Amino acid sequence: MKLHGTMRINERGHLEIGGCDTVELARRFGTPLYVLDEQLFRQNCRDYYAAFTQKYGAGVIYAAKALLNLAVCRLVEEEGLGLDLVSGGELYTARQARFPMGRVYFHGNNKSPEELALALEYKVGRIVVDNFYELELLNRLAGEKHTAAEIILRLTPGIEAHTHEYIKTGQIDSKFGLVIENGQALAAIKRALEMKNVRLHGFHCHIGSQIFELASYAHCARVMMDFVGQVHRETGWLAGELNLGGGLGIYYATGDRPPTVQEYADTLVGAVAAAAAERGIKAPRVVVEPGRSICGPAGTTLYTVGAIKDIPGVRKYVAVDGGMGDNPRPALYQARYEACVANRADQSPTEVVSVAGKCCESGDMLIWDIALPSLEAGDILAVSCTGAYNYTMAMNYNRLPRPAMVLVGDGRADLIVARETYADLISHDRLPARLRKDKRLSVASAR
């Protein structure tokens, strides 16, 4: 496993993150445990802020779908970034953290009338309108509330990014956005411009996630700028803002070579500026929405090793106390991860094993074929780069409680998400009176 951020191996041979011994963390908070490296999370925010905002005056909106809770909202706010939110639940979370709503972009391909009303009530900075239905609905809702919705339109640029099929979004055959090629996008712009209760500021697109090729981004920026130019010629209206989404890839395992944030910024802003200059128009303000590249590397998951099953000549399975419930990414996207034995992080690998989860599915595997020191029950396994799309996609399959999350830094560890309890698991269950064991009692308590 590649050590990064504040990770180091301490005098006891244990993996340390944020000045905290991870073996102690496992003992204190239990496992599975999500550990978030505060300094690295903040540094990743700062890298974006420096590369985009300080260098180019561009906007950076952290994509909360990658990792969101109250503490994360506070970190993002303190580092000066905005938030990309996609649901009433995410809006509510940001609101409860008292995040400045003017810095929020509200996304989604099927926002409900209630969610749109909430976004208007909270006065979010931008609503990213995805389709005609939403455009009409929003215009009506904003009218009813005697307000104006500040919007940008999500467009489908028709670009195929090189990434997993499930996390591609820029191609024409997509559920997201208005297609440029077939005239839908232009029709929506004309409609938006004549509406009384929406104010159109620009466009949005997002080509996918875990992308390494900067050429895909440059291509996307050019396609979008071609369209900005075309719209300007045909309507006289010039887009003031171009939100180019997120998606920058990160290092998960050997072979992953992500570009730097500065290279990404130079590519995007450079392509937009060049295209604007060619057309003799003012360049729109660039906005980006990174999620994974901010929180992904800052997360590590700690597990306790349990059953070990050796099938001589075939494979050695090492089972941990979590799995697809806290990290569904290997099962969903064949995602790869690296790991180390946290309590013997100074030892060299001696054997190749496969790390299995504890769910009742053969597909519940976290890592296939990884070289590790010989493992035994009770060892603490640390899986790195689990900060993005782990906690936010965690589930209760097999009624496994979701793990706790701690924020570590300067030798301190603070609980930022409590571990679910068995009582939490049944807290939304309801037992109709006729199914209760003590019917008399249940009738009384139902009253």
Active-site residue set: 360
Min dist CB 172 to ligand LLP, Å, is: 17
Instruction: Single out the residue of 79, 289, 321, 364 in contact with ligand LLP (rule: CB under 6 A).
Output: 289
Residues contacting ligand LLP: total by CB under 6 A: 23
If 0-12 CB within 10 Å is exposed, 13-18 middle and 19+ buried, where does residue 42 land? middle
Query: Cβ closer to ligand LLP: 292 or 358?
Result: 292
We find the least distance from the C-beta atom of residue 243 to ligand LLP, in angstroms, to be 8
Neighbours of 24 (CB within 10 A): 13
Q: Which listed residue (26, 36, 66, 381) binds ligand LLP by CB under 6 A?
A: 66
Cα angle value 322/254/159 (rounded, 5°): 95
Residue 245 touches ligand LLP, criterion: CB under 6 A? yes
Asked whether position 209 contacts ligand LLP by CB under 6 A, the answer is yes
Rule CB under 6 A: say whether 210 interacts with ligand LLP.
Answer: yes
To the nearest whole angstrom, how small is the minimum distance from the Cβ of residue 294 to ligand LLP? 8
Window contacting ligand LLP (CB under 6 A); options: 142-150, 184-192, 205-213, 226-234:
205-213
The terminus-to-terminus CA distance of the chain in angstroms comes to 58
Q: Which range, of 16-24, 141-149, 246-254, 270-278, touches ligand LLP by CB under 6 A?
A: 246-254
One-letter amino acid identity for 16? E
- What is the nearest approach in angstroms of ligand LLP to the Cβ of residue 153? 13
User: Comparing C-alpha atoms, which of 374, 357, 375 is closest to residue 321?
Assistant: 357
Among 167, 172, 274, 365, interactor with ligand LLP by CB under 6 A = 167
Q: Restricting to residues 34-63, which ones interact with ligand LLP according to CB under 6 A?
A: 63
Identify which range of 11-19, 203-211, 234-242, 265-273 contacts ligand LLP by CB under 6 A: 203-211
Q: Tell me whether residue 284 or residue 387 sits nearer to ligand LLP (CB atom).
A: 387
Q: How many CA atoms lie within 13 A of 217 on its CB side?
A: 28
Asked whether 303 and 403 are in contact (CB, 8 A), the reply is no
From 202-210, 215-223, 401-409, 438-446, give the range in contact with ligand LLP by CB under 6 A.
202-210
**Placement of tokens 């297609």 in the chain:** 179
Q: How far is the CB of 261 from ligand LLP (least distance, A)?
A: 11
State the alpha helices, DSSP H only, in 97-213.
Answer: 113-122, 132-144, 184-194
- Report the alpha-carbon distance of residue 129 to residue 387 in Å, rounded: 28
Taking alpha carbons only, the member of 145, 229, 237 closest to residue 194 is: 237
- Site track for ligand LLP across 347-386, x = CB under 6 A: ----------------------------------------
Q: Quote the CA–CA distance of 358 and 313 in Å, as a whole number.
A: 23
CB of 290 to ligand LLP, least distance (A): 4
Asked whether position 246 contacts ligand LLP by CB under 6 A, the answer is yes
Contact with ligand LLP (CB under 6 A) among 168, 201, 219, 329: 329
Which among 390, 430, 334 is positioned nearest to 35, based on CA atoms?
390
Contact call for residues 29 and 411 (beta carbons, < 8 A) = no
- Shortest spacing between CB 282 and ligand LLP, in angstroms: 25
Nearer to ligand LLP, 324 or 413 (CB): 324
Q: Which residues contact 414 (CB under 8 A, 6 or more apart)?
A: 71, 406, 407, 408
Residue 267 is encoded by which pair of tokens?
A: 């590519």
Please give the residues from 90 up to 109 whose contact with ligand LLP meets the rule CB under 6 A: 107
Nearer to ligand LLP, 229 or 296 (CB): 296
Which of 2-8's residues contact partners 24+ apart within 8 Å by CB, and which partners? 2/251, 2/338, 2/384, 4/40, 4/251, 4/297, 4/384, 5/37, 5/39, 5/40, 5/43, 5/297, 5/298, 6/37, 6/39, 6/40, 6/408, 6/409, 7/37, 7/300, 7/384
Interaction of residue 157 with ligand LLP, rule CB under 6 A: no
Comparison of 86 and 408: residue with beta carbon closer to ligand LLP: 86
- Cβ neighbors of 27 (< 8 A, separation 6 or more) are none
Q: Which is nearer to ligand LLP, 229 or 403 (CB)?
A: 403
Q: Does 326 bind ligand LLP (CB under 6 A)?
A: no
- The verdict on 247 binding ligand LLP (CB under 6 A) reads yes
| Site residues (vs ligand LLP, CB under 6 A) | 63, 65-66, 84, 107, 167, 169, 206, 209-210, 245-248, 289-293, 329, 333, 388-389
